[in-house]
Structure 1
């Protein structure tokens, strides 16, 4: 299965987006988008591909045993919507992508990832920094993790010294790399444009800001602060319990690339 099929499925969702659609339709389409993004962002491409190869995977039914009830009900509604769409004449030529979307919902159910997916949806809705699956202080530490990982999370992002990197992994050849990417820079440029920074707290030094961030029992996923007059985004990545300070200066030069942001 080619990873580009996830992009094809996203296009099917996009073609059904309307400016004046019902709130229910919007929730359904957003959730379908988020399910596909969740599989990619969490590095579950290969587990999902293996799931689809199992002849019995389409018999999986949504479970009522795990996760928030509201989310489970919305997942069931969304699955029904795309199940009905699969048989409509207007979906001619899109059946493969629609089936992939349905399989993505069943993958979440089969692997009991309602709670993790619910956290991811909250992450998206809050326009938090790009999702990461791990954080390391040094390149050497990250390389050791990648080398020893039995099944690296392909296509996911990780942090190395506060910079974003892709996890590149090809199972067939065991090819592994951690190239730097510009996801954070583009995100900060986008956030600056749509939400001009207003500091929630001010600090004289980075050490003071880090101590403040560590002391927060339930930190916000993102909040602007200033350190010696410079803006920083204080961020919290709850899935890995990581707190970070991202300087807004990283966005310089990326403003023109930040036309679309998280969730658009």
Structure 2
């Protein structure tokens, strides 16, 4: 079933649920879902949504919408956007950050996000996953990864005895290598006060 047909069918089901909803609040929530699908369709984001939908079923790390070498580059990019993409993730120096802004969209922030650390922690909960390839150096691994014409969204590599996650963000054609040790940061972070 094509994504167009899938969205139309979902809208039909939501429409039926809307008609049968008892409370005004439920009706409003269902209408919000219907309008969200129309937003995707009418803003020309159907194919992006289809790719996003496919990626969500892979258990790959959270998508990013851009990657930068420095915080200054990321801030300049964010400042130049008339409407900030709130709650989207970007990579800055190979670390996840989340885009946030004030209600009036004038103040924009890029705080670090533990998203990748949680992803790797979940991957290793029952032990280290097997590596698909082994390399002596990061350069060898990177050359191998760059040579992959259609890399999987994520794969585990072993580099010099340490496990790495090779991630391909196909929405922006970006590749990144992350050491599994980033999950160790979760152990060092003190728990929040109740």
1:213 pairs, out of 145, 154, 165, with 145
1:60-115 residue CA offsets vs partner (Å, 9 max, x unmatched): xxxxxxxxx52221111111111111121455531111110000111111122221
Pairing 1:145–2:77 present: yes
Q: 8 Å contact 1:154–1:170 — kept in the other structure?
A: no
1:93-148 residue CA offsets vs partner (Å, 9 max, x unmatched): 31111110000111111122221111101110111110110000111211221222
Q: Which residue is equivalent to 2:117?
A: 185
Partners in 2 of 1:149 and 1:173 — Cα distance? Answer: 10
Q: Which residue is equivalent to 1:199?
A: 131
Partners in 2 of 1:92 and 1:144 — Cα distance? Answer: 43
Q: Within 5 Å, which residues of 2 pair with 1:219-230?
A: 219-230=151-162
1:204-224 residue CA offsets vs partner (Å, 9 max, x unmatched): 011111111111111110010
Q: Are the structure 2 counterparts of residues 89 and 178 from structure 1 closer, same or farther at C-alpha, using a change threshold of 3 Å? A: closer
Q: 1:152 deviation in Å?
A: 2.1
1:79 pairs, out of 3, 6, 11, with 11
1:137-190 residue CA offsets vs partner (Å, 9 max, x unmatched): 111211221222222211111000111111112362511111111111111111
Q: 8 Å contact 1:201–1:226 — kept in the other structure?
A: yes
Gaps of 5+ in 2: 188-194
Q: Which has the higher strand share?
A: 2
Q: 1:194 deviation in Å?
A: 6.5
With normalisation by structure 1, the TM-score equals 0.67
Q: Which has the higher helix share?
A: 1
Q: 1:193 deviation in Å?
A: 2.7
Q: Which residue is equivalent to 1:6?
A: none
Q: 8 Å contact 2:89–2:97 — kept in the other structure?
A: yes
With normalisation by structure 2, the TM-score equals 0.89
Pairing 1:232–2:164 present: yes
